[in-house]
Amino acid sequence: MINFRQTLRSTPALLERELMQRKIAVAVVAAMSVSITGLMAATPAGAAPADPVKVLQGTLKPGKGVRFSDVTSLVADSETTTFLRRTGKWQFGKKGIAASDITADAKRYSGGVFNRLYAVDGGRTIWIGGKSWTSHRTDVYTPEDGKFTKEPLGSTGAYTGTYGQLVNPAEPATLKVLLKGEKKGRMYSGKIGYATLAKVSPWFRASLPFGGDADTILTYELTLGADNLPHKLVTSRQAVDNVPTDGRFKTVTSYTGWGSKVSVAPPPKDRMR
């Protein structure tokens, strides 16, 4: 029978090699432990994600902005009829949105609720600090040759704007309200009323100058991107107040280029009516 202890005594070189390997292994484990500890210190476990409102506030710099596009449809009797598409951009100021430039493309339909939308048409509206110029039809102006007239109410999208996206997540106060909805991953959903929007949102007040019915409630789904900024917003509201059979207006808006360079200027003088 081989005596194991005797064998180890008779092979000192083997024992020394084994001890050296153990020392190396211990050193490697120690180094990994220090590295992991440093990493944990840099990014604490369970650290809260960045506050979307603070992230948004960090992008609100003069000369910067964001681009967006939205599509509005009438959803009624399991049918969806798209009648308005808009593309535009917002220019930021120190405190929020300072200007916008929106171009709309509209389709005309007749019957039902569409008979109320006689003034929804294509055109462009430029809004700067509460003043606006539009090539949309107004109560006192029918556009010709793409010329602009001063929009009497200073609205962001003339008459057509009241059927675009009324909720603006580029406003910190508005975004804060939207984030109170039910959260699933990066999506927040819930309801928000015209009365609340009128209090917190300058964009809402400028897009719907007459205020609408204060009792109107919108449902919404806001999805944030990986950058914790708004990526997509879907809102839905009753198409005609107190007439639920007329269906709902659904607006889907997407946002791109947060913090990119944006400049909005009034129409050239030779294009003014």
In whole angstroms, give the CA distance from residue 52 to residue 270.
Answer: 42
Give the residue among 199, 246, 239, 182 at the shortest CA–CA distance from 216: 239
- Tell me: pLDDT of 32 over 60: no
- Report residue 241's pLDDT band, with 50, 70 and 90 as the boundaries: low
In whole angstroms, give the CA distance from residue 133 to residue 100.
Answer: 11
- Tell me: pLDDT of 39 over 50: no
| Residue with token string 């602009």 | 148
In whole angstroms, give the CA distance from residue 235 to residue 223.
Answer: 12
Q: What pLDDT score was predicted for residue 68? A: 98
Architecture of domain 52-271: Clam (2.50)
pLDDT in tens, 69-89: 999 999 988 899 999 999 999
Quick one: three-class SS letters along 125-194? EEEECCEEEECCCECCECCCCCCEEECCCCCCCHHHHCCCCCCCCCCHHHHHHHCCCEEECCEEEEEEEH
Q: What pLDDT score was predicted for residue 5? A: 44
- Report residue 36's pLDDT band, with 50, 70 and 90 as the boundaries: very low
Q: Are 167 and 72 in contact (CB under 8 A)?
A: no
Name the CA radius of gyration of the chain, rounded: 30
- Report residue 21's pLDDT band, with 50, 70 and 90 as the boundaries: low
Q: Which of 5-9, 37-41, 85-89, 161-165 has the highest mean pLDDT?
A: 85-89
pLDDT in tens, 92-129: 987 789 999 999 999 989 888 888 887 788 899 999 99
Give the residue among 112, 117, 105, 119 at the shortest CA–CA distance from 71: 105
> 247 versus 31: which is more confidently predicted?
247
Give the residue among 146, 140, 164 at the shortest CA–CA distance from 73: 164
pTM strictly above 0.85: no
Structure-token pair, residue 220? 């919404």
Q: Are 73 and 82 in contact (CB under 8 A)?
A: yes
- What stretches of 191-230 show up as alpha helix (H) in DSSP? 194-200, 202-207
> 18 versus 119: which is more confidently predicted?
119
pLDDT in tens, 154-173: 999 988 899 999 999 999 99
Q: What pLDDT score was predicted for residue 9? A: 46
In whole angstroms, give the CA distance from residue 166 to residue 91.
Answer: 17
C-alpha distances out from residue 122 to 75, 87, 193, Å: 21, 11, 28
Domain ranges of the chain: 4-42, 52-271
In whole angstroms, give the CA distance from residue 184 to residue 95.
Answer: 30
